[in-house]
Amino acid sequence: MLRLSEVTKSYMQAIEPVQVLKGIDLYIERGEYVSIMGPSGSGKSTLMNIIGCLDLPTSGTYQLNGVDIAGISENELSDIRNKHIGFVFQNFNLMPRLTALQNVELPLIYGKIKKDQRHLRAEKYLEKMGLADQKDMYPAQLSGGQKQRVAIARALVTEGDFILADEPTGALDSENSRKIMELFTELNQQGKTIIVITHEQEVAEYTHKKIVLRDGGIQ
């Protein structure tokens, strides 16, 4: 489903290029449950941005479902992010003035799904997250664990190819962290491909494939 070949990424720092990723070769098959680990400065955030089509490699190729990402327009990249990738962030990234239901509906609005259809789909995924009774609550009225489950419902609602979760337990206590990772495990058992970016060994232990980055390469 996802293949990176000889991927590098460099940024200009002052007048000198700094290479962050150094020839990454990686494939992830449909249905896998993967963690990408590494210390600060290892390149895992840069790799996440490339996998999530938020950035492009400096060299090498990234293919998603056989499509070379480097060869498409910004509008097409935006379309891929909306329809194929569900993002889950450490700090939830919920809109504070929207209810839980409205937050989950957002990707469907961008995807131009009709109002009645997106309403039903958002309700369906909130119910799957155990939040049917909280659908009309605002983020400020929800606990941290509930906010993250709203974010996961939002990631699932487009019914895309995979979930890309960036430190999904970073803002949660240990009990809620365990519940979120068990939820990811359940979703993976149902067939969803999940990629988790983390620096926590306890989180990575839930996954079936562990990729460790150090100094811009896969260890």
Residue 147 is part of a domain; what is its CATH number? 3.40.50.300
Q: How many angstroms separate the CA atoms of 24 and 157, rounded?
A: 31
Domain that holds residue 209: 2-218
pLDDT of residue 55: 92
The span from the CA of 102 to the CA of 85, in Å, is 19
Query: Can you give the pLDDT at residue 131?
Result: 94
For the chain, residues with pLDDT lower than 70 are: none
The pTM of this model reads: 0.92
In the chain, what is the greatest distance between 2 CA atoms, to the nearest angstrom? 55
pLDDT score for 5: 96
Domain count, the chain: 1
Half-sphere exposure of 149 (CA within 13 A, CB side): 23
Here the tokens at position 6 are: 């000889």
* Per-residue pLDDT at 17: 86
pLDDT at res. 35: 97
Place of tokens 């988790």: 196
Gap between the Cα atoms of 44 and 13, Å rounded: 19
pLDDT at residue 151 in the model: 95
